[in-house]
Amino acid sequence: MKLTTAMKVRIFYLFLKWSMQLKISRYLVALIIVSALLLNGCLTPQTNSDISKSFNAAEETSENVDYTNITPMSDDIKSSDPLMKNLPRLEGKATVIMTVKGSPITIELDGINAPITSGNFVDLVQKGVFDGLAFHRVIGPTTNQDPFVVQGGDPQSKDPKFPINRLGTGNYIEPKTGQVRYIPLEIKAKEYGKATYGKTISKAPELPHTLGAIAMARSQMPNSASSQFYFALADLGFLDGNYAVFGYVTDGMTTVNKIEQGDRIESARVIKGAENLKQPDKS
C-alpha cells in the first residue's frame, strides 16, 4: 500500500507523541525532528509536514548544481569555481531589520565568515523577496514545544491562498533566467581558517547554532539552499557543521519567540553595510 503524504504526517505525529510519553530525552526527540523535518525543509533541510515531498523535490531540482568538486576552497571567491562567481557575496558585515507582528528584529549578517550565504540573503532582501512571505514551520513556545526553530522564506507563501501545509519546497527563481538560484553549503571551521563548500564538517564552526542564530534551510542535498531560512530558538549545537549559519539576531528575540505559523514578514530592509554586497562580475 502506498502511503499518502497525510498518512506519513500522521505516522510521524504519533511517533513523536509516543516518544514524549516514554519521556525520551528532549534532545533525542529534537534530533529526530532534525532528521525528519529540518534536513528536508527546516532547513529546506529535511523539514516537516512535507517531509518526503519537500526533500525529494529539492534533491531533484538541485541535481544540476554541483559544488562537490570545489571543497575545501580558498576564501578568495573571485578566483574560485565559475559557479561561485555567479553568486552575490557580502564582503564584510551588514545589518537587516525584519519587521514581524509590527515589531523589528535586528539581524547582523557575517559576510566575513559566510560571504556567499550572507550575500545571497542580503541580495534577496534588497530585491524585496522576503516581503509578505510567511513563516510556515514553527517548533517552539507558540506551539507548546521545546524551543527549536522558526522557519520561513518560501516564495510560494507570497500567495495567501497557497496551503501552508504544502510550504517548504519553494525556492527563489531568477527572473531573468527562470532558473532556481541555489547556493552551496558554506561552513567555516575555526581550525581550518577558511570556508568549506559543498559538504558538512565535524569541526567547530566559526558561526555556531547558538540562540538567535539565523541559518539556511536546505534539503538532504548539501547545495540545495535557496531562500528558506530559520531562526534558532535555543542553542542547537547538534546542527553545527551541517547547516550554514550566517548571522545572529542582535535585538528582537522576544518577537522571534512570539512568531506563529502563518505570521508574515511585513518588511525586510538593509540598514547598514549595503555597500559590502558585491554582485557577480558579468564580464
Residue of higher predicted confidence among 175 and 75: 175
The end-to-end CA distance of the chain, in Å, is 55
Instruction: Identify the pLDDT of residue 190.
Output: 87
Q: Which tens digit of pLDDT belongs to each residue from 197-219?
A: 999 999 999 999 999 999 999 99
Q: Which tens digit of pLDDT belongs to each residue from 66-101?
A: 433 333 444 444 444 556 778 999 999 999 999 999
Q: Which tens digit of pLDDT belongs to each residue from 26-62?
A: 545 455 455 444 434 444 433 333 322 332 333 333 3
For residue 9, pLDDT beyond 60: no
pLDDT band at 270 (very low <50, low <70, confident <90, very high): very high
> Which residues, in sequence order, are CB contacts of 192 under 8 Å at separation 6+?
72, 203
Residue of higher predicted confidence among 231 and 41: 231
DSSP string, the chain: -PPPHHHHHHHHHHHHHHHHHTT--HHHHHHHHIIIIIIIIITSSS-STTHHHHHHHHHHHTTT---GGG-S--S-GGGS-HHHHTS-EESSEEEEEEEETTEEEEEEEETTT-HHHHHHHHHHHHTTTTTT-BEEEEESGGGTS-S-EEEE--GGGGSTTS-GGG-S----B-TTT--B--B--EEEBTTTSSEEESS---SPBSS---TTEEEE---SSTT-BSS-EEEESS--GGGTTTS-EEEEEEE-HHHHHT--TT-BEEEEEEEE-GGGEEPPP--
For residue 102, pLDDT beyond 60: yes
Domains annotated on the chain, with CATH: 5-278 (2.40.100.10)
Instruction: Identify the pLDDT of residue 72.
Output: 40
pTM of the model: 0.76
244-266: average pLDDT: 97
Mean pLDDT, the chain, integer? 79
111-117: average pLDDT: 96
Instruction: Identify the pLDDT of residue 283.
Output: 53
250-263: average pLDDT: 97
Residue of higher predicted confidence among 6 and 56: 6
Instruction: Identify the pLDDT of residue 241.
Output: 94
Cβ proximity of 248 and 213 under 8 Å: yes
Instruction: Identify the pLDDT of residue 82.
Output: 57
For residue 138, pLDDT beyond 80: yes
